[in-house]
Every structure is written in structure tokens, then in C-alpha cells.
Structure 1
Amino acid sequence: MKLRPRPAALIALVLLAFTVTLTGTNAPAAADDARYSATIRRTEYGIPHISAKDYGGLGFGYGYAFAQDNLCVLASWAVTLRGERSRYFGATAKSDDPVSPVTNLASDVYYKSVADSGVVRRLLARPAPVGPSDELRRLVDGYAAGYNRYLADTGVANLPDPTCRGKAWVGPITAMDIWNNLLDLNRMVGSSQLKEAITGVGEPETEGPVKRPAAGSNGWALGREATRDGHGMLLADPHFPWNGIRRFYQVQLTIPGVLDVSGGSLYGTPVVQIGHNASVAWTHTVSHAQRFTVYQLKLAGDRTSYLVDGRAEPLGRQEVEVTLQDGTVAGHTLYTSRYGPVLAAGHTDEVAYALADANAANLRAADEWLAMARANDLTQLRAAQDAYQGMPFVHTLATDAGGTAYFADSSVVPNVTDAQARRCAKPSPIPGLEAYVLDGSTSACLWGKDRDAVVPGIFGPANQPKLTRADYVANSNNTFWMTNPSEPLTGFQRAWGVAGTELEPRPRVSLDMIDRRLSGTDGLGTPGFTLDTLQATAYAKRNYSFELMRSDLLKLCRSHPEPTASDGTRVNVREACGTLRDWDGRATVDGQGAILWREFFTRLGRPTGPEEPGFSPWRVPFDPARPLTTPRGLKRDDPAVRQALADAVLFFQANHIPLTLTPGRAQRYSSIPLPGCTEGEGCFDRVRMRVQLGVDGRYPEVDTGSSFMMAVELTPDGPRARTVLTYSLSANPASPHHTDQTALFSRGQWVTGRFTEAEIAADPQLRTTTVRG
């Protein structure tokens, strides 16, 4: 069978099913009885403020506005979710998943299996809270219709983004595409990162540890005792991918008298994930809790069934077909069990392994975010989380106008107690897998049931780590226990993460930044946070590893000015040491010494030989009794440390790279120079590049890091917010909003939030569009 191009006439007929009129501000309005109606007002940097009289109209306006800026990204992702990437882009090319990219064939087999399983259809048949609410259903329907209306108005051949203009793979989307995207977001740190282990296509996980997704975040919720004026304040700094479907889109969504929320919304979702309304603000950070377990199956003699409590249960069989670029069809067989999909990895004649993902049937998160957006205070926000229990993999940090700070890991976690994990433990089929492996041959090892859990098998609200305070709560992807050092959280099951463990440099600098601001020792004036000092603190660009090691490094420089590199070369490091001595330790755009330090520090963590895979450069090791001040110092007398310094300096010298190389010259995004340093160095608003420094003194483009930054103060007169979308609003390289906020981020500037009607109307760049359909 040959692949035939999609006829243009057919596309037009499908798109014209969504009829609409588009009018300028002063143009005549369409009929009042239109099914969908929304107003899109764009303020500076193209930020859309969408209002409608109902949820369907709101979704319609949002889908239309989003398509104006980012249609190509969602069009490509719809192809992914349908399992059609091999057909259009080739089976061996990499998929467009920005978190867990795999070959298109592996991606297609996985997503076809999800669609064929019918999980979304079953959830759509359920009432809320397990199934979607009526409000969310109307939002999703409207969103798909709005996207399609824009595509019909513009035409595939006339799309402004050259990335997908005229491409055969661009077409209308359906509400099912949006539901599948919402489900996949919730599975992001579970099934979706194990596509190859599930499908057997590639299976790289069998060769090394399964790593957490490249997403992190910082979050601060400040209460009345931490702020100068006694208002609740919040800092949101999610670290998500800078490309693809997991980017944030900045938007305000309003139904007068019902909903009014502003913030960051992940691509292809019709709700705000991180944001604020008039009296509540919240953000999220990725949690360390378990999201799935693996069950070892004891196979029966014929290997087509497995034993549970001595009785045989047949393995399910799923036949998946993927259309390839030449029109041929590739068949693939997957197997399932009562626990979930059977992994291709680790099976023998006696055992197999199945994946049990706590988010496998979770569509509840979108309704939870929608309910949080309607909350008037923290009591209502907590009630929303307890009602839906759908947060897929994140902590929640929130504050309200009353000045209370709140933290919760209210995420979806398998109900496995420590005692059960010990009793049921089995060897892992995947080296380095960060999940419990349990005995699947006995029902005694099934997940437990909490009475207050909205679905069986997860921990209920009574067992979740939570903390409410009047000063602050903070998290930078550390476990829950150091949310506030004055009140450590302990006593929770290890499935939530482990208390008493070492804090990485980024969480430590985060807590140190708050402590210095509250004591007034950070050089920003009177103790306590204001909106201005909150912004300044977040943009300080401190490199905490350098601060902790600087003194020992300078002593090393004086005692060993010509250390030996790993190739035996003696290297004169005097000039390099002078550069580091003069550097202020901040990863600003013009920070001379920041890149030299990074190249030295990252070499400290690299194994120096098979006998030393976990070398630690810290002079004072971690002490659980002193989590905020240990580890610290540099092992300046260790030969491995001296060698790392020599290797770093030799790399600069050999490639004629200036030792004063700055972040602005070394790291960029779409040609914009960027500040910041990496996770391991202990930078608060961090950046990430997948490859080390090149011989030209440049890194590949930044692909992850601070994404939607928001500082908000909840005053009696309404919210005051400052935001910056680091990669800007549009992925379209031809858009005026492709890098305009990126340039702001480079300069350390923010956008003044416009939330009220008066603030929006006062924008001299205001553009208003009405869409009806």
C-alpha cells in the first residue's frame, strides 16, 4: 500500500465544519446565537487575555490564540499521539518528545498501544472526579474547535510558521488529541519515559539507569511573616524544556464572575498549571516520590500466563500496527497483565516484569488545576486537591491574600508501605531503575487502599507530606523534609522520598537566599521581601559550588601552580587562578570566570577510573545533623582535584579559548546570549545544555532551564505580578514574539503583569480580536 498525500479539498471540507467569523475591534459582530464566542486581547509581548461567557467559548478562544502562535508544535505532537510519526518522518528518526525522545517507531508503537487500550474512552465515560467534569469537557471541545478554526481561516499552505507550512502532516485536531495529551503529561515520569522498555523497540534502558526527566523547578511561597507588608507572595521558577510540547504558554483566562486566572499553561492544555487569580497564587516543583512500581511475574509453563496466589491468569495480547514511510505496515505484539504492560526487558522462561503506573488512568489533574484557579483562599485550594487527587508528579507551593504559605506533596503515589516494599522486594530487570520491584505472584503485594483516596491503590490526603506556615515554604526539587528548616518534615513512607538526605547545591542556595533576605544580609536593604527584592533575589545568579569551594581553590592555586593533567602535561594555572580569584561568583552574562569554573567543577564529578566511580570533591562530607552547611570545601590536596584543574585549563589553552570566557559568549538560545549556570554547580535559575563546551568555546543551544518565571504579590488592591517567559511566546521563528522575552531574560528584566480590566485596557499596544464559531 502506497502512502497518498491528503487531498486539499478533504482538509477544507473537514475544517469548514467549524464555521466562524473573525472581526476586528470595530467590525460588526457575528450572530448572537453562535455556539462559541470569545474575545482575545493581546498586550505587550503578545500575551493573550482571553475572555468568554462560558467554558466552551473560553476554550475556543484559547485554542485559536494558541494556534496563532504555536500551531506547528501541536500539529506535530498530534501526529505523535496518534502513532503516525514513522509514516511522515521515518521510523529511525527521533521523535519530538522533548523529555524522553526515542525513535519514531518506538514512539508510534507505544502511542498506538495507549490509544488501542481504550483507557481515555473509559475515563470519558466516568463521572467526575475520576472522569472529567462538564466544565473541562467543554473547555477541551472548544480548544480543539478554536485550533481548527484558525487552521481553516489560514490554510495549511499559508501558515506563518515555515516549520509546518504546506506539510502533509498538518490537519485538524480532535478533542481526543487533547485528552491524550493531558494523559501523556500525567504519565511523563512513568510509562511515557519507559517507551522502549515497554515496546522492546530500542530498549536502551537495559544498558543503564533510568534517569528522571529533564524537568525541575524552584518554588517559594512567602507568608505574612516573611514579607515587608504582610502580604502573601510567590516565586515560580519551573525548569522545563525550552522546545516542544512541554513549553509553557503565558495566558489569562476569564469567565466573568466564574474564573479569572493568569499564568503559565503547558502547550496543548486548556488550563493554567502555574499561576494566580485575585487572591491565590501557586506553583509546582517536581517531586522525588515514586510514580510506578514494577511487578515480577511468575510465568506458567507455557509462558502465556502467570501465577497469582497459585492460579494462572492469561497474559493479554495486543497487536499494534504502524504505517511506515513507504506505505508498508509494521506489526508489533505487546503483552499486558493485571498490573499493566509487560516489559520487553528482563523476561526469561520463568519470569517477566510488568509496569504498574499510578498515573496510567489519570485525567484528574486538569480538573484539579481548574478548581485551584477558582479558589478564593488556601482552604479552597486544598479542598480542590483533596477532591481530585490528580497532581501527577509535582509538589504544590501556594499562598493567599491572607499571608499563609502552604506546601504539599499531593501527587499521585503508589500506596506501598516501607514494610510491604521490604517484604515483597524482587531484583530489578533494569539497572538503576528508581522504583520498587515487587512480587507479582501474590495479592499480598498489591498496592494498598486508603479510605480517603479518590481511586484505589494511591496514598490518600491524610498520608501526604504537608506544611502550613506564616513565614515561608520552599522547594527546589529536594525531598519534602527541608521545606522549611525550622520545621523539618519526617515520618513518611519512603515512597514519598527519603528524609535526612543530602541537599544538592541548588536547594541549599535557595534556602540560603531566603535566609539572607529575611536577615537583611544579602545587600538588598531592610529584612523581608518586597516584590522588588523578590525579583532581585531570584536573579542573583549565585554559583553556590564556587562560594563553598572558593577559599580552598585559591589555596590550591598557591600551593600547586603547575599541576599535572591526565595526559601527563604540566599546566601553568596561574592566569586561570587569577581569573577565578577576581570573579564575583555570579553567572551573569558578563561573568568572567563562570565558564572556567564550570569546566573545572564538572570535571571534578567525572570518574577518574573504574576503581573510583563516585569520587567526591568535598573536603567536609555531608552530615545529616548539618544539612544546610555540609558538604563544603574542596579537597585541595587530592591529586584528582589538581588533575581536574589542570585538565580544564589545558582545554582552554589548547583550543585558544579565553580563560575569561563569559556565559553570554558561551551559551545562547536563538542567538540570544544567556546568563545562568548548571544544576550541579548550584545555580538557582539554572540552564542546561546536553553537551560539554566545544573547542570553539560554545555550548549547544540551551534546551532546558528556567522557563516561566513569575513573582507575584497578593495585595488588598489585587495581585501585582512580574513575569518572564524565557523562550518567549511563540515557537515560530518568523513571529515577532519568538525571542522578545528571551532578550528581556538575557538583560535580567521582567514583564509587568496586567491582570485587571484597567491594567489591560491601559496597555498602549493592546490589540483586540473577537472570534465566534
Structure 2
Amino acid sequence: MKLRSWPAALAALALVTTVTVAVPGTPAASAPDGPATGDQGRPAIAEQDRPADGSYAAEIRRTEYGIPHISAKDHGGLGFGYGYAFAQDNLCVLASWVTTLRGERSQFFGPEAESDDPVRPVANLTSDIYFKSVADSGVVPRLLARPAPVGPTDDMRRLVAGYAAGYNKYLRDTGVANLPDPTCRGRAWVRPITATDVWHNLLDLNRLAGGSGLKEAVAGDGEAEPDGPAPGSNAWALGRQATRDGHGMLLADPHFPWNGIRRFYQVQLTIPGVLDVAGASLYGTPVVQIGHNAHVAWAHTVSHAHRFSVYRLKLAGGRGGYLVDGKTEPMGRQEVEVRLNDGGIVTRTLPTSRYGPVLAAGRSDEYAYALADVNAANLRSADTWLAMAKARDLKELRAAQDTYQGLPFVYTLATDVAGTTTFADASVVPHVTDAMARRCVVPSPDPSLEAYVLDGTTSACLWGNDGDAVVPGIFGPGSQPRLTRADYVANSNNTPWMTNPSVPLTGYDEVWGKVRTDVEPRPRVSLDMIARRLSGSDGLGPRGFTLDTLSATVRSKRNHTFELLRQDLAALCRAHPVMSTAAGERVDVRAACRTLTAWDGRATLDGEGAILWREFYTGMERPAKPGEPVWRWWRVPFDPDHPLTTPRGLKRDAPEVRQALAEAVKSFEDGGMPLTLTPGQAQRYGANPIPGCTEGEGCFDRVRMRGRLAGGRYPDVDTGSSFMMAVELTPDGPRTRTILTYSLSANPSSPHHTDQTALFARDGWVTERFTEAEIKADPRLRVTTVRG
């Protein structure tokens, strides 16, 4: 997965372990959490986390599409109502994931079955070893023993405790045998959860771009071949100079998995006079990650910054240790036990170092390597999001991020009622300056590794410190790439450099992402869409954004690579009506060329030519031989002085271009597929046709399927636009449209299992109900009061 911190090379690192026959009850050794850790501490649920009278109360109001609006008088009650509402819709997903977090999948599902990780599934035994090692390290109780901001605030502790209690209330009232979702009805692995489980879920989310994405490496279970989703998400913050009425507007379009624990859940959370926020939370987390209140709106995209470093250890001969500053440090050992479904027990002994887990790739008699994950001991994200939700303007939103410094791997784009916009990489980044990299970087065990490999023999190469950082080893807010504008800031997973092309962001250390680098097709079409709307040249009327034109623009389904290459493709077709495959087989491409030249370049459900173009384009994009560049067919190469117009044009004389078209056409003919195959015919999520095209094609409306086209169908869509939100912040309150692409409930028997999915396929939006009057005006309103 190419998230700058999930490189293929690092995922191939395997940790040295010993498999033994365990004695039941053998205590596990503690393991370091990474360069920054907390102290030993108190239990996850302390007495002050409980409500004073021992009870919770909340009101759950559901509007159309089952969207819950939860209100309570305090944070504990709000968490209780949220946990209860979420369990009503998605208990089975969280129950399965809690089994994963506890390292118990092998016990219930067998060690060889695949885990339920939607980003990087691994064998259950590997998953269990990894999660047991995290739990046994004691990192969560140590962090809970710390005061804020390193540990959680009292409000956050109560929110988490209430969330677990609300989930358990629904499970207790319903009973495992009577659960409406057949996926987990009557299953032994469905059990009450604890606040500790919720904290571990938050920790794992924070580690997603580090250790959690490298479970096979950390658990020492052979080589890993990562296949997670490519970097996703689009976000625009539009200021008063870009909007027709001078209001701040925001687009959120995160591209996250469509199945499992990393789905978004739409919700509104209200404590009168304290908090009123609407948006979406990732499953099992009791805070809104992407959303708005009456004053500000924000979105996130995945950052290009590094999330970990690899330290090269100089081994101390046969003494079982490694050298730091000329002295031998002993290698740590963490023993992990996993119970199997046949009653047996497997143990693994995991070597550790002061930097983190010790890895094996490149290991020799002289060297070993260790993983240092900057989010290894980070629970601060929850308080960061909670404080952002309470912000009344951009100054307070930035203060929330600066206070807790917990965002794990994302950029932030935000706007407010005044029509100011801001971009920041306010995420947790290891403090490796360019100067330190020049001094400390050592040869990598694999040249393709997208992380710094640092010299572990000297404490001078430990991560540095900033005076404004809340924990050691990370950059403080004063070092972060930031930009404030009155027109716009935008990101589609490009580096901060092209946040706004009129003022390129430069001057930051390379650990944050490169400058003067290929912007890539999806960010290019994103910036082009904004430019055309601001000039009024996109056919949507007078220039400037309104809520209507924003909604239309972001669902336009433009395929940018086709737009860039269509003229050269037409010329190629005129010159070569018959082309040859790499094997020399001649193919008549005239019918295919007619289909492609007649296509309007939009990946709509009925876009005849969209799938043929994808198969041709991705055929060119694949290297003919391992290691060959994939951009060899662009006529005009990338030019950093013209980043939004290069590369462009098709190198019509390149034989691989004609071969790719011939082979695409032949694959359609051999498979009995029409050349006019449309996205509506080829792309599905369950029974629902799904529009859109893929990352490599330069599509803002991005979808992904794991697998190739066969018989006119791809495997089901598993990643793409997830929770889309277009919001206009007016002095009279927010006006918002949303769509949850896969719908609110994973329960196949729920009426809200695919209702928004069908709406999404028709380019529809849900008009959000935010105010009391809007909520009460819904004729479908259902109200439930829960106590416990």
C-alpha cells in the first residue's frame, strides 16, 4: 500500500521469532512501545470515568436513511447513546473486530483463516500474535495513567466508557441469540466489550500507517505482500473569494474501505451548550473524524509524511545484544501466547529493542533492523477530534490540534463562517530533519524502502525534539506545513506542495513529502475542476461555487487520463486500424476505436467505452518487465515548472502503446465481452451498480476492486468514496448534503443496508438535518430514549 509509510519493502521484513510449546499461564514479558512511551498506570476504566449516579441516559433520534442524532446532558451519556445506536446497526462488525483486538481469532475461527482487517488482511495466527503483543506491552494502561494531553482528558474517558456501556446495553437487552444480523447471531465470539477494547481500537487506528499495517513483519510470520488501498481521499476548503455568496464551503470525500471496521458511520452528537457536531466516525470510535458544527467544517486526506523510521542495529557478536554509543544493550524478549481452536497454545518470542520491534530483512552476522513507529503510543487523536468538534472558528480548531497533537496520518483542510480556509499537516511525524537525514541515514536493506533507515549505533540519531511538541521525538506545530487562504486549499493525496498552485508550499523537511514532484492525474483533475468552476468554464453557470455547483462538480466523473490522451488516441487509431499484441497476433481495433472516440470521457453508469479505456490504459501503465518505468509512453514528460500540464500526450510511436490496445481488445473478444461494456454493467457493490473509475486513470470519483475483469464483471468494489459531505457555512446555520456510499448498516437484513448506495449510484445526495427544526420536521422521525 503506497501511503509513504506502507512500502512493499518494509512489509517484506520478517521478525525473528521462536515457536515453542507454551505452558498455559506463562507471563508475557513487557515490550517497548517505541521511542516515546508512558509510565505504568491505572486500569482503563477508573472511578472518575463512571457517571456519578451510576447511570447513563441519552436520546436517539433517527431521521431518513436511519441517520442517528444523539443527545445527552454529559459526555458519558453521549457515549452511551452512541454506543447503543451503533450496536443497533453494526454490532457484528465491532464484535468481530474486538475478537481481533484481543488476539483471539485463532481460538474462534482457526489460525489459518484470514483476519477481518479490511486494509491488510493476514492469517489469524499472525493477527493474534501482533495484537497480543500490543495488549501485553501495557501501552494502553500506561497512557491512561498519564494526564492530558499525553493521556486522555476526563471528557474523553467518560465518552469512551459510556460508548462501551451503550454497546453492552443493546447486547444485553437484545441477547446474542436474537440479534437481527445473521452474521453473528448466536455466535460464541459475540461478547460484551470494555472501554479498554475501545481504546485499543483507537490506538490501532493511529498505528494504521505504521506497525498495524505491517503485522507480518512485526509478528514474524514470514514475508508480507501488501495489497492495501492506494492513497485515497479528496478534500476542498473553499473561501469567500471562491464562493458565490462569500460563505465558507467544504467538500469531504474520504476514500476508505467499504467493508469492515474502517467504514464510516454517519452521526450527529449533541450536548446542549457544549457540543453539536455532525459528520462521520470510523466504526468503533466515539468521536466525529470528518464533520462540521455551526461554525467550522473540516475534512482529512491521507498525508505523505513518514510515520516510522527503521533503525539499523550493530549486533554485539555472540552476546545477544546490539551496540549504542559503544556499549552493549541486551535485546529484549516478549513472549506472546495464542490459543487455537483445537485447544492448543502457540507462543512466539519477539525480540525488541529501544527503538521498537526487531526485524529480520537484511539481517546478517553484523546487522539487524528495528521499527520505530511514531504512533506506537498515541491515544491523543481522540481528544484532538473532540476539541476540533467544539471549535467556534479556525483559530480554535488550530488550537485544538496544537494542544493535543494527535492526528495520526492525515492532512486537515478546514473553513469557517467567515470564509477563511486553512490547510495543515498537523499529524504526528517523526522528527527527522534533512540535516539529520544527511548525517544519520545508512544504506537500506532494500533500495525501494520508503522510509529513512537510520544509524542505531549512536543516540545522536534518535529522533529530535521541538520545544512546542507535547511528546519527545515529533515535530511541533511550528514546523508543520500550513497555508491559510481566502480562495481555497485542496488536496487529493498530493504532497503539500500544490495545496494551492498560486502559492506552492516549500521550505519544509522532506520527511513531510517532496516538492517539485509529479502531482499525478487525480490531484491534477481535482485542481482543474476548481479552476474551471472559478472561471465559469465548466458549463455549470456563472463562476464561483454554490452548494448546487459544488455538488455537481464533485460528481462529474471525469476521467482525466482520457481527456489528456484522447486526441493522440484518435490519431493513432487512424494510422493503425490493425495492431499486434506482444505475441505478434494481429487484432482489428477499428470497432474499439469507434467506441473510444465516441465516449464522452465520463465514468457514468452508462459510459460506453469507460471499461475498454481502463483495460487499455492500465495495460500501458503496467511495466512490460519488472523494474521498467510505467510512464514511458507519455509524449511530454513531467516538468516541475509546469506541474499541472505535464505529463501529457500519447507517445504514438511507442510499440507498447499499440500492443496494449491490441491486447485489451483481444481480451474483450476472447471473454465474449462487448467493447461498449459500461461501469454500470462491470462494477457492483452487492446488487448495486457503481459508477466511477480507478486511481490510476485520474478519476476524482475513485473506485477500487481487488482483481481483474472477467466475464464482464470486476470483483465487488471494496474502496472508494465513502462518506461524502458538501457543506456551506452561512450566518443562519450550515447547509449540508451528504452521502454514505455503502449505507449506514452492515446488517444485510437492515432497511439501511443499501438504501444510500442506490441513491449514490443515481448521483443523489441526502439533505442533512442539523437544527432542531430540521430534525423534528422529518415525517420519518423515530425517537428512542435509552438508560442504563
Q: TM-score, normalised by structure 1?
A: 0.94
Question: Which of these residues, 198, 210, 217, is aligned with residue 190 of structure 1?
Answer: 210
CA distance in 1, matches of 2:567, 2:266: 43
User: CA 1:658–1:315 in 2, change beyond 3 Å: closer, same or farther?
Assistant: same
Question: Would you say the 8 A contact 1:215–1:704 is kept in 2?
Answer: no
Mapping 1:479-628, distance limit 5 Å: 479-610=495-626, 612-628=628-644
Give, as a single letter, the amino acid of the residue that structure 1 aligns with 2:761: S
User: CA 1:317–1:550 in 2, change beyond 3 Å: closer, same or farther?
Assistant: same
CA distance in 2, matches of 1:312, 1:185: 35
CA distance in 1, matches of 2:331, 2:549: 59
1:730 paired residue number: 745
Give, as a single letter, the amino acid of the residue that structure 2 aligns with 1:361: A
1:739 aligns with 2:754: yes
CA distance in 2, matches of 1:716, 1:595: 45
2:38 paired residue number: none
2:763 paired residue number: 748
Count of aligned pairs: 740
Give, as a single letter, the amino acid of the residue that structure 1 aligns with 2:766: V
Question: Would you say the 8 A contact 2:150–2:404 is kept in 1?
Answer: yes
1:302 paired residue number: 318
TM superposition shift of 1:610: 4.8
1:400 aligns with 2:400: no
Give, as a single letter, the amino acid of the residue that structure 2 aligns with 1:509: V
1:761 aligns with 2:776: yes
Q: Residue 444 of structure 2 aligns to a residue in which SS?
A: coil
Give, as a single letter, the amino acid of the residue that structure 2 aligns with 1:496: W
C-alpha distance after superposition, 1:42-73 (max 9, x if no partner): 00000000000000000000000000000000
2:73 paired residue number: 53
Question: Which of these residues, 36, 50, 55, is aligned with residue 35 of structure 1?
Answer: 55
Question: Which of these residues, 330, 340, 357, is aligned with residue 314 of structure 1?
Answer: 330
C-alpha distance after superposition, 1:442-495 (max 9, x if no partner): 011111110011111001111100000000000000000000001000011000
2:24 paired residue number: none
Question: Would you say the 8 A contact 1:81–1:111 is kept in 2?
Answer: yes
TM superposition shift of 1:615: 4.8
1:19 paired residue number: none
C-alpha distance after superposition, 1:550-604 (max 9, x if no partner): 0000000000010001222111111111111111000001101000000000000
Question: Would you say the 8 A contact 1:228–1:530 is kept in 2?
Answer: yes
1:457 aligns with 2:473: yes
2:388 paired residue number: 372
TM superposition shift of 1:422: 2.0
What percent of counterpart residues are identical? 76
CA distance in 2, matches of 1:369, 1:155: 33
Question: Would you say the 8 A contact 1:664–1:675 is kept in 2?
Answer: yes
CA distance in 1, matches of 2:153, 2:398: 18
User: CA 1:611–1:117 in 2, change beyond 3 Å: closer, same or farther?
Assistant: closer
TM superposition shift of 1:304: 1.8
C-alpha distance after superposition, 1:116-135 (max 9, x if no partner): 00001100000000000000
Give, as a single letter, the amino acid of the residue that structure 2 aligns with 1:325: N
Question: Would you say the 8 A contact 2:57–2:786 is kept in 1?
Answer: yes
CA distance in 2, matches of 1:630, 1:692: 29
2:115 paired residue number: 95
Give, as a single letter, the amino acid of the residue that structure 1 aligns with 2:785: T
Question: Would you say the 8 A contact 2:229–2:719 is kept in 1?
Answer: no
TM superposition shift of 1:428: 2.5
Q: Residue 237 of structure 2 aligns to a residue in which SS?
A: strand
1:72 paired residue number: 92
1:128 paired residue number: 148
1:247 paired residue number: 263
1:147 aligns with 2:167: yes
User: CA 1:356–1:608 in 2, change beyond 3 Å: closer, same or farther?
Assistant: same
Q: Residue 728 of structure 2 aligns to a residue in which SS?
A: strand
TM superposition shift of 1:611: 7.4
Mapping 1:670-685, distance limit 5 Å: 670-685=686-701
C-alpha distance after superposition, 1:289-339 (max 9, x if no partner): 000000011111225211100011111110001001101000100011111
1:648 paired residue number: 664
CA distance in 1, matches of 2:316, 2:349: 19
CA distance in 2, matches of 1:439, 1:405: 40
TM superposition shift of 1:200: 1.2
Question: Would you say the 8 A contact 1:60–1:142 is kept in 2?
Answer: yes
Give, as a single letter, the amino acid of the residue that structure 2 aligns with 1:227: T
1:157 aligns with 2:177: yes
Give, as a single letter, the amino acid of the residue that structure 2 aligns with 1:89: F
TM superposition shift of 1:344: 3.6
Give, as a single letter, the amino acid of the residue that structure 1 aligns with 2:698: G
TM superposition shift of 1:431: 5.7
2:12 paired residue number: none
1:707 aligns with 2:714: no
1:269 aligns with 2:293: no
TM superposition shift of 1:612: 3.5
CA distance in 2, matches of 1:329, 1:347: 29
Give, as a single letter, the amino acid of the residue that structure 2 aligns with 1:396: T
TM superposition shift of 1:194: 1.1
CA distance in 1, matches of 2:627, 2:329: 46
1:230 paired residue number: 246
Question: Which of these residues, 443, 466, 485, is aligned with residue 459 of structure 2?
Answer: 443
CA distance in 2, matches of 1:143, 1:680: 40
CA distance in 2, matches of 1:615, 1:256: 55
1:471 aligns with 2:491: no
Q: Residue 546 of structure 1 aligns to a residue in which SS?
A: helix
Question: Would you say the 8 A contact 2:120–2:227 is kept in 1?
Answer: no
CA distance in 1, matches of 2:688, 2:339: 40
TM superposition shift of 1:670: 1.3
Question: Would you say the 8 A contact 1:409–1:466 is kept in 2?
Answer: yes
C-alpha distance after superposition, 1:606-626 (max 9, x if no partner): 122357454522111000000
1:688 paired residue number: 704
Q: Residue 449 of structure 1 aligns to a residue in which SS?
A: coil
C-alpha distance after superposition, 1:18-39 (max 9, x if no partner): xxxxxxxxxxxxx996610000
Give structure 1 stretches of 5+ with no counterpart.
Answer: 2-30
Q: Residue 40 of structure 1 aligns to a residue in which SS?
A: strand
Q: Is the deviation greater in 641-650 or in 344-353?
A: 344-353
TM superposition shift of 1:82: 0.4
1:81 paired residue number: 101
CA distance in 2, matches of 1:553, 1:211: 31
- What is the aligned-residue RMSD (CA, Å)? 1.5
Give, as a single letter, the amino acid of the residue that structure 2 aligns with 1:402: A
Question: Would you say the 8 A contact 1:724–1:741 is kept in 2?
Answer: yes
Question: Would you say the 8 A contact 1:405–1:469 is kept in 2?
Answer: yes
TM superposition shift of 1:347: 2.3
1:414 paired residue number: 430
CA distance in 2, matches of 1:196, 1:34: 43
CA distance in 2, matches of 1:165, 1:595: 40
Give, as a single letter, the amino acid of the residue that structure 2 aligns with 1:699: Y
Question: Would you say the 8 A contact 1:517–1:529 is kept in 2?
Answer: yes
Give, as a single letter, the amino acid of the residue that structure 2 aligns with 1:80: T
CA distance in 1, matches of 2:764, 2:756: 9
Question: Would you say the 8 A contact 1:214–1:704 is kept in 2?
Answer: no
Question: Which of these residues, 713, 734, 746, is aligned with residue 719 of structure 1?
Answer: 734
Give, as a single letter, the amino acid of the residue that structure 2 aligns with 1:554: A
TM superposition shift of 1:433: 2.3
Give, as a single letter, the amino acid of the residue that structure 2 aligns with 1:746: A
1:25 paired residue number: none
Mapping 1:660-675, distance limit 5 Å: 660-675=676-691
